[in-house]
Amino acid sequence: MPISVDQLNEEPTEVLDLQAGTQPHRILQFLAENDDKAFTQTEIHNATDIKRGSVGAVLSRLADRGLVRHRGRYWAIAEDDRLASYAAQRNASSASTNDDYYGEE
């Protein structure tokens, strides 16, 4: 769907698309669901099925925005209250569908 030239001019040049299904969203979701661990780019590639060459670029863009952190080869979700809330919500949502919340069928 085309946008107006005015929208194009108003759009910041470094917008990161975090919509569901995008590569940044998939990586953030994986790291948030595993917020107690850090992973190599290869491990993130294997877990998300994102092309190996794209994982590094996405992680760099996420790091520039303070959404992920790394030390050496390992990457993890950033220590940010917004991301911690997101991770807690995702983990609680997963737990409720895997426990006896809905009872027997």
In tens digits, the chain (105 residues) has pLDDT values of 777 777 766 765 555 667 888 999 999 999 999 999 999 999 999 999 999 999 999 999 999 889 999 999 999 999 876 665 555 665 665 555 555 555 555
Give me the CATH code for the 19-93 domain, please. Answer: 1.10.10.10
Question: What pLDDT is stored for residue 102 in this prediction?
Answer: 52
Question: What pLDDT is stored for residue 103 in this prediction?
Answer: 53
Question: What pLDDT is stored for residue 39 in this prediction?
Answer: 98
Residue labelled with tokens 């107690």: 36
Question: What pLDDT is stored for residue 20 in this prediction?
Answer: 86
- How many Å apart are CA 78 and CA 51, to the nearest integer? 22
Residue type, 29: Q
- How many Å apart are CA 69 and CA 50, to the nearest integer? 19
